[in-house]
Chains A and B, each alone.
Chain A
Amino acid sequence: MNVNELASTLNCEILSLPDGERLVENIYTGDLLSWVMGRAESGCAWITIMTNVNVCAVASLVDAACVIIAENAEISDEIIAIASVKGVNMLRSCASVYELCVSIHEKANL
């Protein structure tokens, strides 16, 4: 499933979508950035409640397919702009991390 399809399946708000065709290969969730950098795999959809600027750098460095901001966590326009400049796909949902994981498992078979 690609990021476009995942966004519509999960009914996510689209914050930045420079590469909607990117394939989502696996899922990772976590908020501690070094932990994410140590464990997340390339091509993942990374679910987090972190919304500061370092999220864009980490997503880009681990080569995530997209970031999904859970719980409708607030994020500034400036950071959304940085995400699109850096080529980072960024979605947002009002669902919790747990609910997102369950829906992805049920609907996206990941």
Chain B
Amino acid sequence: MKKLVIFFLAIFLPLFVITLLADQEEEEEADQKKQEIKLVNYIRKANRNTREIVDHSKFEVLKGHFENAHKVTEACLGCHTERHIEIMESPHWKWERNEVIEGKGVITLGKKNTLNNFCIGISGSEATCTRCHIGYGWKDKSFDFNEPTNIDCLVCHDQTGTYEKEKGAAGYPKENVNLNYVAKNVGSPGRENCGVCHFWGGGGNNVKHGDLEKAMIDCSREIDVHMATEGEDMSCIECHRTENHNITGKLYALSSENKNRVTCEQCHTEKPHGDDILDDHICRVACQTCHIPYYAKANATKMIWDWSTAGKLDGDGHPKHENDADGNHKYMSIKGTFIWDDHVVPEYYWFNGLADHQLIDEKIESIPVQMNSLDGKYMDKGLCRKTSTPSKIWPVKVHRGKQIWDPVNKTLVQPKLWDKEEGQGTYWNDFDWGLAAEKGMDYLELPYSGEYDFVETEMYWPLNHQVAPKEQSLKCNDCHTRHNGRLESLGDFYLPGRDHKAGVEIFGIFLIAASIIGVMIHTVCRIISGKKCKLNNYTKN
């Protein structure tokens, strides 16, 4: 017996120690990596805050009074020559980019011409939508995209927090903005600069993304580990690295190619966990999937937008506006009915970095209309297939809606929504869908049958922000579980712990039951045969 134990220890102890040591080494390596990332971030932050930058308030050109916003741009470009060329090539300026969509060729995609299932589209209502454009004066098709002084430098570079664009003024600042003061206090864009458009897209805080909102201007680690003020305190451009005004990162609501993306790996490397099994997951599971377990963690986001109920006016014929219990818009006469949610569990889809879009002049082939659709499936394993990298499982906010379409031509419809005045046939003023549709489609010179209806739509927003502290990331059995797992609906592959074949289960249970029953019958027979059975005699001795 003693020998057995010694044998056992001699062989298994070393094995155990080796595996434990190897594990520990991996973990230490990962820890070290983490420290390095923190250090790099710390140094960058220190550089940012202590670097001697020019003091714009000392420049003569910025001291005089600016007649209008264009003059500020002129002053900027006086020193920062050629920057306007970079800007004018950027999607932030053009609100479109040329992208290849599989099966459709090169398509010009962007806010300029692509519809969504929020405020639908800008055409015909530019002057209000372009409040988020980095320019001055885009009120209709006549806007001059080649005029450098139309660029709005301040909205991104203002450091005072006092610069604000006017509502419905095609991107011009409010009258009361002190252009002098702002122009003298410019710098690298902070989160407020990006946030003023990207947090408020869709007409309200966190309406669109669900993972980008005003709370992130000053938030805790629970909300976002990267942006936490008492923590890494990273600004947007820390990840969305920018050179010559070419900002990395883009959103699949409006783009379709796998390029110019921002990735977690650019800092965290492809082996961040110190654990082989977890690191292996990176091959088919996006970091975001486990590390963004919930989105809309501070304020709610819009989940459903039903335009078909719009247009109900109150007793006096005025538009109505009702809020839900949490203070979010529930019904607006101009927009219809909304459903909001917070701490939302994402939906999960395979995604290979390519997306398709329902273009405005394209026939609708299936309902719900996929405003944009993320490409990918389990069998798309990269390597010689569509993309060089495999499809990964991604967390996605799906925004569902019901919006106007042309059931005869089977296309989406761009209604004209906004105008300064009533009587122009815009829906938000006159509440006549037919007229708004006619006006909008006419503006775009697109066919409209004269009939409209409402159609269900879906839009996919891959999640990237509001990364949770690691203790809150998903655990194995959030997915590897038989019932109610996060990946329950992603059925095109075998997932250990979730899947089992009925045939195999029946085979197994049958085998085990047969063994047990056989053994029991045999035992009973032995007992019954009693004395005749030598075995029983012996046990009695």
Are A and B bound to each other?
Answer: no
